[in-house]
Amino acid sequence: MINKYDIHPDFARFPVFTLRFRTLTLWFINFLTSMQCAFVRPRLRLAVTNHHLPRPDGSRLKVFSMKPKGIAKPAPALVYYHGGAFALTYAGLHLKNCERYAREAGCIVIFVDYRLAPRFPFPAGFDDCYHSLRWVVDNAGNLGIDPERIAVGGDSAGGALAAGVAQRARDEGLVKLCGQMLVYPVLDNTCSTPSATDFVDTPLWNAVSNRNMWNMYLHPYPIGTALPYAAPGLGALRGLPLSYVETAEFDPLRDEGLRYIEKLRQAGIAVQVNETKRTVHGYDASAGSDIARQSMLERINFLNEAFKPGSA
């Protein structure tokens, strides 16, 4: 497989596997990931506060705010949705990355622990994500947030959630976002692009896992149903905020990301593109890689640009 794709040595040893989304497997992965996060979170150099938002059914949505010490208020905010194929919980890497976004872009990060499929298929997790943005807008003053400098962001499936939330916020006039930051985002449930059909044996994420994910996440709906908020690459893009889109070369999601970039440009949206080479989906798990370090700087530079007063 290493000879088949020209993957950078930093990522070539990542494992190749196919995710079937079986309940026991997901439970085991999420258990181990949660244990790892339990060690990471206390070591974050931020003020972290839990918030529990009521849902219409009486249950509670957990979000937590991550604030750099001494940050001037009102501060910009990044509402962040973690990746994990809509079914996996957040990992320590998500927390560490958001720590850097908060500290180096001078913002408050609102991190959303949304409901996971397959127990909660679309739109449950998406509704949580939109509800969290509404809560931030409604409570910006109490949270010390500047309502004119709110961005959304996410990686992988979290990128789909962020992009879908941005479209719904535009459609409903909830808030004029100052930016959307999408890191190798999930965008298209048709799985019809060349990368989404050809990359069946790439490390960490492949075309078969990708199709399995969509079948799991959208299982209440007939196959082929167009759901733009779930698959925001199929939605209308006019009126969206300043955008950052990052892609990985040997990622089934690559071509839908590139197609989304082109559609943004056609819609007149300014977009910063980070088209990484010799990379795979989730490549920044190798945080010591020069490529991963450069991508982190690109993301932070984008946030600093989006958070400039009057940029929205």
Q: Which residues are annotated as catalytic?
A: 156, 251, 281
How many angstroms from the chain centroid is the CA of residue 66?
17
Alpha-carbon span 188 to 222, nearest angstrom: 15
Residue whose token pair is 């908020």: 229
Closest CA to 254 of 224, 294, 210, 219: 210
| Burial (0-12, 13-18, 19+ Cβ within 10 Å), 144 | middle
Asked whether the beta carbons of 49 and 71 are under 8 A apart, the reply is no
Which tokens is 154 given? 């996410």
For 207-230, b/e burial (b = at least 16 CB within 10 A) is: bbbbbbbbebbbeeeeeeeebebb
How far CA 69 is from CA of 40, 105, 139, 286, 301, in Å, comes to 18, 13, 20, 28, 20
Spatial distance between the Cα atoms of 141 and 108, rounded to a whole number of angstroms = 13
